[in-house]
């Protein structure tokens, strides 16, 4: 797969698929610019070479309709400030006016296209729409790992019409860490898997069992496993239809010699509320209570396991960390990962939010920008957006 380091963009226009699907508040101000910051090295490479940049992204889910709420014009000032360049805003992402603006773009200038998903053709992967995007520039760069698992026009189909197609720095880094580092992990390799449901992480767990030495389970999914072991789970989140699957995962892990650790104590609340009455209980959750976080003994046991690791992969929180009284497990694990000497890969989604909230993001080797894309890549699936630029 061609990387951008070896390419000279002097005098060329590069159309870059970025993931600027950033959160905005009620005043349409950017509340977290992580995704924009992540794209800066790729954009700067093109500009520093003497090229021009056309940025394309989606924002929210406008479902193929023009919706002021999801206009990328809301982020122009933020992107301009971060890049130190006065970014031009296009009225659309295709059409005569956009084509004219792209043609007149000079070296060192940046043009931001309007939300791709204002057109139904984007998510449908329409070839005509893809061709119109490709014709705006000389080179296509994909730097949006978060959407690489979708065969959309701007992430995949456009590559058919681009003479030069490249991976941006961010996409290249994601592939290196989530692909190469996981596949050839230094041992001991510890995976921390949390989140609400087993169903969302089923394929990841199956894939990891053949790669890791230890799996640490937290979050709501832990109680499906505890149920599979015969424990009572009270009112905790449990997927009854996956209890047998959980039993099989435990059997498979044992057969592979993988240490599969489940909570030994839990914070059991009488209601789903930060002000709930909380009891610290063992593996059996009393009736009328729900487990919302791992307990202190579990946190300590997991931290000890993480301390001896050479590679750590973390996907999913240990509890309802958004509520302060149920955040200690997640933040305790986060601190343990930060304190370890391991290569640490944070695999997208809520675990990224937890790491950012903890203030320990700079202690992690790699924080993935992809949610669903990270999961699918870890499952061993081909991502259309990655495959397209390899071709």
Q: Which CATH superfamily is domain 177-369 in?
A: Phosphoglycerate kinase, N-terminal domain (3.40.50.1260)
Q: What is the pTM of this model?
A: 0.84
CATH number of the 4-170 domain: 3.40.50.1260
- The reply to whether 4-170 and 177-369 are identical in fold is yes
Secondary structure (DSSP) of 28-49:
--BS--HHHHHHHHHHHHHHHH
pLDDT of residue 34: 83
pLDDT of residue 391: 62
Distance in angstroms (rounded) separating the CA atoms of residues 225 and 263:
10
CB 379 within 8 A of CB 207: yes
pLDDT of residue 197: 85
**230 burial type by CB count under 10 A (0-12 exposed, 13-18 middle, 19+ buried):** exposed
Find tokens 């009270």 and name the residue: 234
Distance in angstroms (rounded) separating the CA atoms of residues 381 and 179:
11
Mean pLDDT in consecutive groups of 10 residues from the start of the chain, 391 residues = 85 96 91 90 98 97 95 97 97 97 98 98 97 98 90 95 93 86 91 89 89 96 96 96 95 97 98 97 96 98 98 94 96 97 86 87 88 78 85 62
Catalytically active residues, by annotation = 35, 197, 349, 372
**Spans of all domains in the chain:** 4-170, 177-369
CA angle in degrees (0–180, nearest 5) for 107-110-111: 125
Distance in angstroms (rounded) separating the CA atoms of residues 243 and 237:
12
Q: How many CB atoms lie within 10 A of CB 221?
A: 26
């Amino acid at each position: 797969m061609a990387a951008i380091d070896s390419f000279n963009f002097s005098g060329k226009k590069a159309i870059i698929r970025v993931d600027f699907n950033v959160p905005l508040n009620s005043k349409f101000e950017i509340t977290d610019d992580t995704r924009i910051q992540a794209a800066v090295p790729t954009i700067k490479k093109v500009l520093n070479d003497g090229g021009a940049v056309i940025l394309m992204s989606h924002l929210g889910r406008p479902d193929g309709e023009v919706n002021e709420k999801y206009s990328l014009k809301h982020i122009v000032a933020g992107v301009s400030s971060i890049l130190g360049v006065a970014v031009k805003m296009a009225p659309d992402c295709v059409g005569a006016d956009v084509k004219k603006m792209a043609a007149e773009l000079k070296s060192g200038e940046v043009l931001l296209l309007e939300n791709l998903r204002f057109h139904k053709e984007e998510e449908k992967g329409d070839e005509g729409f893809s061709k119109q995007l490709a014709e705006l520039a000389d080179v296509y760069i994909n730097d949006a790992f978060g959407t690489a698992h979708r065969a959309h026009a701007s992430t995949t189909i456009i590559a058919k019409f681009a003479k030069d197609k490249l991976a941006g720095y961010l996409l290249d880094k994601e592939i290196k860490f989530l692909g190469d580092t996981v596949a050839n992990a230094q041992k001991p390799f510890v995976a921390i898997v949390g989140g609400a449901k087993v169903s969302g992480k089923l394929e990841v767990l199956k894939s990891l069992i053949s790669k890791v030495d230890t799996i640490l389970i937290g979050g709501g999914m832990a109680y499906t496993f505890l149920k599979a072991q015969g424990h009572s789970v009270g009112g905790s989140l449990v997927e009854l239809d996956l209890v047998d699957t959980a039993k099989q995962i435990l059997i498979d892990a044992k057969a592979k010699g993988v240490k599969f650790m489940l909570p030994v104590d839990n914070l059991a609340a009488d209601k789903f509320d930060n002000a709930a009455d909380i009891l610290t209980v063992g593996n059996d959750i009393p009736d009328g209570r729900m487990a919302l976080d791992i307990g202190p003994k579990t946190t300590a046991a997991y931290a000890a396991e993480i301390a001896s690791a050479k590679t750590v992969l973390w996907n999913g929180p240990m509890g309802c960390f958004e509520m302060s009284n149920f955040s200690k497990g997640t933040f305790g694990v986060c601190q343990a990962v930060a304190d370890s000497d391991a290569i640490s890969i944070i695999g997208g989604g809520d675990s990224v939010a937890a790491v950012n909230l903890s203030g320990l993001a700079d202690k992690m080797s790699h924080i993935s920008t992809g949610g669903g894309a990270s999961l699918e890549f870890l499952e061993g699936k081909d991502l259309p957006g990655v495959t397209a630029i390899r071709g």
